[in-house]
Structure 1
Amino acid sequence: MVAANIARKGMGRILDGIIKYRQTLRPALLEEFQKVATGPSPEGLLLTCVDSRVVASRITQAVPGQLFIVRNPGNLVPHHNCFRNNVTVGGECGALELACSINKVQVIVVIGHSDCKAMNLLYSIRNELKSPSKGPLEDWLRFHGRGTLEQFKKLESSSGFDRKLVFAGAQHSEDDFEAYIDPRNEFKPSDKFSQINTLEQLKNFLTYPFLKERLNRNELEVHALWTDIYKGEVYMFSFQEKTFVKIDESTYKTLALQCV
Structure 2
Amino acid sequence: MEKLFTGIMQFRREDFESHRELFQELGRQQKPHTLFIGCSDSRVVPNLITRTHPGELFIVRNVANIVPPYRKTEEYVATTSAIEYAVQALEVDSIVVCGHSNCGGCAALNKSPEELSHLPHVRKWLEVSKEVPGRVDRLMTGDSPEEREWLTEQINVLVQMKNLLTYPYIREKYDAGKLNIYGWHYLIETGEIFNFNDEKGVFEPVA
TM-score > 0.5, shorter chain as reference: yes
Counterpart position of 2:108: 121
Question: Which of these residues, 119, 136, 151, is aligned with residue 192 of structure 1?
Answer: 151
Measured in 1, the distance between the counterparts of 2:114 and 2:157 equals: 24
| Equivalent in 172, 185, 206 of residue 213 of structure 1 | 172
Aligned partner of residue 97 in structure 2, secondary structure? strand
Which residue identity lines up with residue 84 of structure 2 in the other structure?
A: E
Residue pairs, 1:244-255, within 5 angstroms: 244-248=203-207
CA deviation map 1:76-115 (0-9, x unaligned): 001113xx231x3211111111110111111100000000
Query: Of the two structures, which has the highest relative contact order with CA contacts closer than 8 Å and spacing of 6 or more?
Result: 2
Pick the aligned partner of 1:95 from 65, 77, 82.
82
The Cα of 1:12 is off from its aligned counterpart by: 1.5
Q: CA deviation at 1:55?
A: 0.5
Measured on the aligned residues, the alpha-carbon RMSD in Å equals 2.0
**Partner residue, 1:151:** 135
Q: Which consecutive residues of structure 1, in runs of 5 or more, have no partner in the other structure? A: 1-10, 162-184, 249-260
Bigger Cα Rg: 1
Alpha-carbon distance change, 130 to 52 in structure 1, aligned in 2, over 3 angstroms: closer
User: Is the CA contact 2:38–2:65 (under 8 Å) kept in the aligned structure 1?
Assistant: yes
Q: Measure, in 2, the Cα distance between the counterparts of 1:63 and 1:239.
A: 28
Q: 1:238 maps to which residue?
A: 197
TM-score by length of structure 1 reads 0.73
Deviations 1:102-161 (A, max 9, x none): 1111110000000011112222x1xx34777332212211x11112123112223xx448
TM-score, normalization by structure 2? 0.90
The count of aligned residue pairs is 205
Q: Is the 8 A contact 1:47 1:111 kept in 2?
A: yes
Consecutive unaligned residues of structure 2, counting only runs of 5 or more, are none
Once residues 22 and 132 of structure 1 are traced to their aligned partners in structure 2, the CA distance between those partners, rounded to angstroms, is: 42
Q: After the TM superposition, which parts of structure 1 deviate over 4 Å for at least 4 consecutive aligned residues?
A: 129-132
> How far off is 1:240 after superposition?
2.5
8 Å CA contact 2:38–2:59 kept in 1: the answer is yes
